Structure 1
């Protein structure tokens, strides 16, 4: 009985050795393919180099993200909407040579300037705009130019979201 038990154990050991041998061969093949053209030291150097590159890219990304936020805040103060209205200020002048122009930033701040053309002279006026309105009375043409500039600003804001 002892002999039969020993033979069974020996058979089990051979089967285990066979499966372990196959597993080692698969792992060796994978390892050789992974290490092909390099040695262990150069592989470690390659991994360190990749890690340093990733850290460098992360710091560049953080710096660029901060710069982008700065640019976005500056962009809010640039002219975003312009409205132009041409009109004939006087009956005896030809063409629509007078005009009103409204220029606004993202916060609806800016100015409206108007040029009134006459036969003898032209006059230019500028009025500040804060949050979409002016402390000065606006003419109908200036109000229309302001309305157009506000619409252009809102349209641009819809695209930037």
Structure 2
């Protein structure tokens, strides 16, 4: 009799455990079904309820337009960065007394360079009765003519001005964006949506 009761309790315990496992599995499936229903409603809502193809084609077209617009803006940024290299952007100024009988540092050497270190030095030597102005060309950060110590200091000040290389940064951004756009526009057959699992 006790063995019959024991078998009855064991079978009852197994049935309860199976029922609990079945209940947990049912709750998990219901949760997945609700998420799937939300996604289905998002894609199927519309005038006739079957607008999935239209919605997808519209989304893909808009995505391609945005990628094209983004590439256009990046190209314009690249052009501006290239133009920036040719504009004057580095300056070095040294003021000094060119003659012993003058004061107030009225003489100066001014170096102006572009992003490629091309430009000029403008030196003004001021005295009580005279004023002289000299200009010297700078190519790749070098001057072919003899320089005074003040002119050399002015060139070094201008060369030490750190300017970002915007042209190469813009090119890297364009290449990166094109790569992302290509990977997004091509279908990924190996992609699995794990959000619903």
Question: Taking structure 1 as the reference length, what is the TM-score of the superposition?
Answer: 0.71
Q: Report the Cα distance in structure 1 between the residues aligned to 2:37 and 2:116, rounded to whole angstroms.
A: 65
CA gap of 1:157–1:44, structure 2 versus 1, over 3 A, is: closer
- For 1:1-161, what aligned pairs fall within 5 Å after superposition? 26=33, 29-30=37-38, 31-32=40-41, 34-36=43-45, 39-152=48-161, 155-157=162-164
- Say whether the 8 Å CA contact 1:106–1:157 is kept in structure 2: no
Q: Report the Cα distance in structure 1 between the residues aligned to 2:69 and 2:165, rounded to whole angstroms.
A: 30
Q: Report the Cα distance in structure 1 between the residues aligned to 2:90 and 2:83, rounded to whole angstroms.
A: 15
Structure 2 regions of 5+ residues with no counterpart? 1-28, 170-197
- Structure 1 runs of 4+ aligned residues shifted over 6 Å read 158-161
Partner of 1:15: none
Structure 1 regions of 5+ residues with no counterpart? 1-21
Q: Report the Cα distance in structure 2 between the residues aligned to 1:84 and 1:144, rounded to whole angstroms.
A: 8
Count of residue pairs brought into register by the alignment? 137
Q: Report the Cα distance in structure 1 between the residues aligned to 2:55 and 2:71, rounded to whole angstroms.
A: 24
CA gap of 1:37–1:74, structure 2 versus 1, over 3 A, is: same
